Structure 1
Amino acid sequence: MKPIIGKLYCSSSHTVLVVRKRPHVVNGGGFVVMDCSAQRVVFKVDGCGVRGKKGELILREGDGDTLLLMRRKGGMVEALSIYKKWKGYSVDYEGSRKLIFSLKEPNSCLVNNNAIRISTRNRERDFKISGYFPDKCCSIVDSKGNEVAQVGVMKEVEELMESKDLYHVVVKPGMDQAFVFGIIAILDYIYGESTHC
């Protein structure tokens, strides 16, 4: 499978990463993604708020370098559309941006299939969300019906905590983990969780 953002973020084996939400008082909210075996920070997501803008999210590497800028398309165009649309851009060291993916969320009850859909630059690599993110029971599924990443709550954690501030994501071999967490950041915002203002 070709990487969507970069080879560096693809693994040859199943990868289990743990997501821990940050309070809104820290950089406007967001979450931290950790490698459960080494307990190191792999990604950080900054939500809007203290330093960000409403409808804008940033995915960073563990060391703080920006990987993705995700923006919600707004205004009159969105109000008249049957979809709400997000765009994800890669950001290089010079600050230039390149469109990587777009995510469409149904904005109307007129849409036959209420699934959230993701399109990449390579049209053969489209995805959709299956399940319900607020319950931390959902998957990212490719256009062939293969589950490429799964969001869930660890049973041990669920017994200790009522909230879903800590959950895990299993990413299948070859799938771009940075792309997966860009999508999860947008889902987090859509459902009014830690990245939302």
Structure 2
Amino acid sequence: MTQPEASAPSVAYAHPAVAVVSPHFCSPYPMDIAIVRKLLTITHGSFVVTDVNGNIILKVKGDHLLDTAGYPILTLRQKLMSAHERWQVFRGKSTKSRDLIFSTKRSSMVQFYTKLDVFLAHNTTEKVPDFKVKGSWSEKSCVIYAGDYSTIVAQMHKKRTVKSELLGKDHFMVTVNPGIDYAFIVALIVILDEINTASTPTVPT
């Protein structure tokens, strides 16, 4: 009797709700969003986040992630004098330690692909990251994982169009898996963009 061929190992997709910022930003269904950078504005870190129909659902101005009414949801701050380019993300307009939600840092000093470790505020020992981000900025893509590299929570790729080039905009298309906090995902991608925009090209170890 012929034995069935073994199937290739597959990557799991997270389904239980992961509300890092708020359950308000978790959808029970896969969610496609666009993070649009306005290249021709003078405001540092200026983005809008839209759904598939083009409706604005979030905004980024400077170091703040805002809701559609302009209310600050998160404050993103780079920690100065940090060897691993650590960023900290706080609730609302606060930068106090009690309002810290999560932090990120490069997995290593020298990287060919950008890899970030993400630690939730309660993970004070930081022995094991709660999330990982792996991106190739030359290809403008990244994958965000929960825990180890076996559970995908979101994936991003860059979309260029003639219209976007004329308007001076970059479109980062993101698929957020069911139950995943899309405000958290947007914050991670904005941090990744800031790190790669500010960094000089790195070489493999």
Q: TM-score, normalised to structure 2's length?
A: 0.72
Runs of 5+ unmatched residues, structure 2: 1-16, 199-205
Inter-partner Cα distance in structure 2 for 1:185 and 1:114: 13
| Residue 116 in structure 1 maps to residue 121 in structure 2 | no
1:17, 1:168 within 8 Å by CA — same for their partners in 2?
yes
What secondary structure does 1:190 align onto? helix
Q: 1:177 to 1:134 in 2, by over 3 A?
A: farther
**Unpaired segments ≥5 residues, structure 1:** 48-56
- 1:43 to 2:58 alignment: yes
| Amino-acid identity (%) | 27
1:136 to 132, 140, 151: 140
**Greater Rg by CA:** 2
- SS in structure 1 opposite 2:192? helix
* TM-fit CA distance, 1:137: 1.5
| Alpha-carbon distance in structure 1 between the residues aligned to 2:122 and 2:161 | 38
Question: Deviation of residue 121 (structure 1)?
Answer: 2.5
How far residue 153 of structure 1 moved from its aligned partner, in angstroms, is 3.0
Distance in 2 (alpha carbons) for counterparts of 1:169 and 1:12: 16
In the TM superposition, what is the alpha-carbon distance from 1:106 to its structure 2 partner? 4.9
1:189 equivalent to 2:194? Answer: yes
Which consecutive segments of 4 or more residues in structure 1 shift more than 6 A? Answer: 159-164
Partner of 2:39: 23
| Matching of residue 166 in structure 1 with residue 171 in structure 2 | yes
1:21-54 CA distance string (max 9 Å, x none)? 11353533421110113x211111113xxxxxxx
* Kept in 2: contact 1:136–1:164 (CA 8 A): no
Q: CA deviation at 1:14?
A: 0.3
Q: Determine if contact 2:25/2:181 at 8 Å carries over to the other structure.
A: yes
Matched ranges for 1:32-181 at <5 A: 32-37=48-53, 39-47=54-62, 57-75=63-81, 78=82, 81=83, 83-91=84-92, 97=96, 98-106=99-107, 108-109=109-110, 115-123=115-123, 126-144=130-148, 145-154=150-159, 157=160, 165-181=170-186
| CA gap 1:63/1:161 in 2 versus in 1, 3 angstroms | closer
CA contact under 8 A between 2:64 and 2:75: conserved in structure 1? yes
Cα distance change on mapping 1:127 and 1:96 into 2, 3 Å: closer
Give the alignment's TM-score, normalised by structure 1. 0.75
Deviations 1:99-121 (A, max 9, x none): 00000025634x8x962111113
User: Quick one: structure 1 residues 96 and 128, their matched pair in 2 at CA, closer, same or farther if it must change by over 3 Å?
Assistant: closer
- In 2, Cα distance between equivalents of 1:134 and 1:122: 33
